[in-house]
Amino acid sequence: MGSISTDKFVDLIQSYGLPLVWAIIIFIVGRIVARIISNAVGKMMTKGKVDETLIKFAKNMIYIALMIFVVLAALGKLGIETTSFAAIIAAAGLAIGLSLSGTLGNFASGVMLILFRPFKVGDFVEAGGVSGVIEEIQIFSTKMKSGDNKEIIVPNGTIIGSTITNYSAKETRRVDLVIGVSYEDDLKKVRAVLEDILGADERILKDPAPTIGVLELGDSSVNFAVRPWVKSGDYWPVLFAVQETVKLRFDAEGISIPYPQQDVHFIKEEAAA
């Protein structure tokens, strides 16, 4: 009887004990490996100067995904059928994905914005149908500040799906002005005055040189294209200052700036005899 009990005990150990030990080993080692991999990914993202919020989220997602495989592997070692578990997990993942499709899309777009960096905090951009200064790039949305100090929150999916114009990406910008003068004015004098105005403003760059040329012979004016180059931060101050200076100098030089007008003629008809 003792021999039979011992044999049964050995059989139980072989049948359940060893698989249980292996399952525990797989779980412990798998957990350690999952933690190492997630931390390694986090360090790589930190070196790449990725947003801290994204780093934490990515580390947790990678760790959870790896632990799911570890648990399934441990259960399989115990002889438990894992096909049903995998099917349940896949179905749950599909349901969650469908219900959060928009949110996941914004998350993926946020990852793309952080990785590819079409703009950074402090840039003035036009994206998602709005324009403003970037204040914060979040996982699901981007926070912007408009010119009149309003906070604008735009979903990242909307930004990625639209054209992005970054006005701060380059160090220099061109100011495009159209200045109209009368057909009776001396065009050479007009050009000389415009050159003097641009040359007197120290914010206007010498290289590349400003462009001044006749753009169009309009219906009521000769239109000059005036295109100086400035540092991006000086764009708006120079735009305002040059237009004001042009008006003041033209008045002083006797150069007229035409504006739309109509002549109305009254025809007096004599009463019939």
142: domain CATH number?
2.30.30.60
Are 142 and 127 part of one and the same domain? yes
Q: Which domain holds residue 196?
A: 172-253
HSE of 93, CA atoms in CB hemisphere, 13 A: 10
Share of the chain above pLDDT 70, in %: 78
Q: pLDDT at residue 150 above 50? A: yes
Q: pLDDT at residue 266 above 60? A: yes
Residue 35 in domain: yes
CATH code at position 213? 3.30.70.100
Mean pLDDT of all residues in the chain? 82
Q: CA distances (Å), 64 to each of 50, 58, 61, in order?
A: 21, 10, 5
What pLDDT digit, counting tens, does each position of 8-49 carry?
A: 655 655 566 667 777 788 888 888 998 998 888 888 878 777
Q: pLDDT at residue 171 above 80? A: yes
Q: pLDDT at residue 60 above 50? A: yes
Residue 262 in domain: no
Q: According to the model, what pLDDT value does residue 91 have? A: 59
What pLDDT digit, counting tens, does each position of 199-258 carry?
A: 999 999 999 999 999 999 988 899 999 999 999 989 999 999 999 999 999 999 999 988
Strands (E), the chain: 124-127, 130-137, 141-145, 151-155, 165-166, 172-174, 177-181, 211-217, 222-227, 229-231
Are 185 and 162 part of one and the same domain? no
From CA 55, how far away is CA 48, in angstroms rounded?
10
Residue 264 in domain: no
User: Which structure tokens are listed for 13?
Assistant: 């150990």
Are 92 and 36 part of one and the same domain? yes
Tally of domains within the chain: 3
